[in-house]
Amino acid sequence: MLLTTEKDLAHAREIISAYRHGELKETTPEFWRAKKQLDSTVHPDTGKTVLLPFRMSSNVLSNLVVTVGMLTPGLGTAGTVFWQWANQSLNVAVNSANANKSHPMSTSQLLTNYAAAVTASCGVALGLNNLVPRLKNISPHSKLILGRLVPFAAVVSAGIVNVFLMRGNEIRKGISVFDSNGDEVGKSKKAAFMAVGETALSRVINATPTMVIPPLILVRLQRGVLKGKSLGVQTLANLGLISVTMFSALPFALGIFPQRQAIHLNKLEPELHGKKDKDGKPIEKVYFNRGI
């Protein structure tokens, strides 16, 4: 899906449109490929193409460099600040490109939230890097492991702060929910809280395998086969561990909370209950864009 062109997207839209209008009677393999192309490339609210580095289909490749940077042992203050800044810059760009567009964010809000996320991640990382060596009654090996997990703590805490800051308007005002025909039924604060809460939780789930497993394995390797090896060899080993973990675990983590969510209408605000679709049929389920 990374190499999907505008011509491919135009063809995919024609196939989906033909299915919706009854011209395509059944879901062929070509239909499912077209749907997959649109789902992984086009924003569900605006219908616009998401820039390549910020699509979920390129999530692994986009995050690989900054993750390797953050998990490099012995970064020091400057290295820690740089890689936490780089990671939050990428996160804000991805969030902005894929967020629910019921309430678009102003440039000033975006910059404020960006600054808060960078401050949170750098503050947590530097604070823990300073705290861990001072811990008492803990063995040097345990301190080493805790130190390697500092980037995980920084990324998770900043990620949660980032989500709630960037999407606070959605919780306060509600997000659009749609029927099965794609027609807007109304706005729901309950759906918004569900969307934002799941996104915050997904940040923890997405970061856990990539930022916990490789550092723990690397610590063990450095006490064994990598002991005495050059920094270049250790960096390549770290890159390999992170790459394998990302490509194997991240797709499953991302799949826990689908971007397009469904919920029974009776679980939302009372004013939405009893709504009917354009054909006069009672609406049982509504759908919304969770965002990422």
pLDDT digits (tens, 9 = 90+) for 58-71: 777 888 889 989 99
Is the same domain home to 73 and 196? Answer: yes
Angle between helices 107-131 and 150-166 (to 10 degrees): 160
Tell me what the pLDDT averaged over the chain comes to. Answer: 85
Using DSSP's 3-state secondary structure scheme, residue 49 falls into strand
Residue 184 lies in a domain: yes
The 3-state DSSP composition of the chain as helix, strand, coil percent (nearest 5) reads 65, 10, 25
Query: Are 260 and 44 within 8 A, CB to CB?
Result: yes
Question: Based on the domain organization, do 62 and 32 belong to the same domain?
Answer: no
The predicted model scores a pTM of 0.74
47 inside domain: no
User: CA 32, 36, 40 angle in degrees (round to 5)?
Assistant: 175
Structure tokens at 26: 């059944």
Six-digit token string for 120 = 């949170």
Q: What is the per-residue pLDDT across 37-46, written as a single tens digit (0 to 9) for each?
A: 777 777 777 7
Residue whose C-alpha is closest to residue 158's, from 114, 198, 127, 109: 114
Q: 182 and 267: one domain?
A: yes
Residues 110 and 140 both lie in one domain: yes
**What pLDDT is stored for residue 269 in this prediction?**
93
* Mean pLDDT value across residues 72-80: 88
Q: Is residue 285 part of a domain?
A: yes
Please check whether residue 1 is in contact with residue 40, taking contact to mean a CB–CB distance below 8 angstroms. Answer: yes
More confident residue, 195 or 254: 195
Same domain, 178 and 214: yes
pLDDT tens profile 147-187: 999 999 998 988 888 888 878 888 999 999 998 888 899 99
| Packing angle of the helix pair 59-70, 231-255 (nearest 10 deg) | 140
Query: Do 184 and 268 lie in a common domain?
Result: yes
Express each pLDDT in 184-223 by its tens digit: 999 999 999 999 999 889 888 888 999 999 999 999 999 8
In a domain, 59, yes or no: yes
Rounded Cα distance between 171 and 193, Å, is 5
CB 154 within 8 A of CB 124: yes
Within-domain flag for 48 = no
Per-residue exposure over 132-152, b if at least 16 CB sit within 10 Å of its own CB, e if not: beeeeeeeeeeeebbbbbbbb
Angle CA 264–268–271, to nearest 5:
120
Cβ-contact 265, 287 below 8 angstroms: no
In a domain? residue 197 = yes
Q: Does 35 lie in the same domain as 150?
A: no
Q: Do 93 and 171 fall into the same domain?
A: yes
Are 277 and 180 in contact, with CB atoms under 8 Å apart? yes
112, part of any domain: yes
Same domain (yes/no): 116, 20 = no
Is there a single domain that holds both residue 258 and residue 172?
Answer: yes
| Longest distance between any two alpha carbons in the chain, whole Å | 73
Contacts of 69 (CB under 8 A, 6+ apart): 79, 82, 83, 86, 87
Q: List beta partners, residue 282.
A: 276
Q: b/e for 112-126, b at 16 or more Cβ within 10 A?
A: ebbebbbebbbebbb
Q: How many domains does the chain have?
A: 2
Range of the domain at 150: 53-289
Q: Are residues 32 and 66 in the same domain?
A: no
Torsion of CA 128, 150, 66, 81, to 10 degrees: 10
Same domain for 28 and 115?
no
User: Does some domain include residue 170?
Assistant: yes
SS3 72: coil
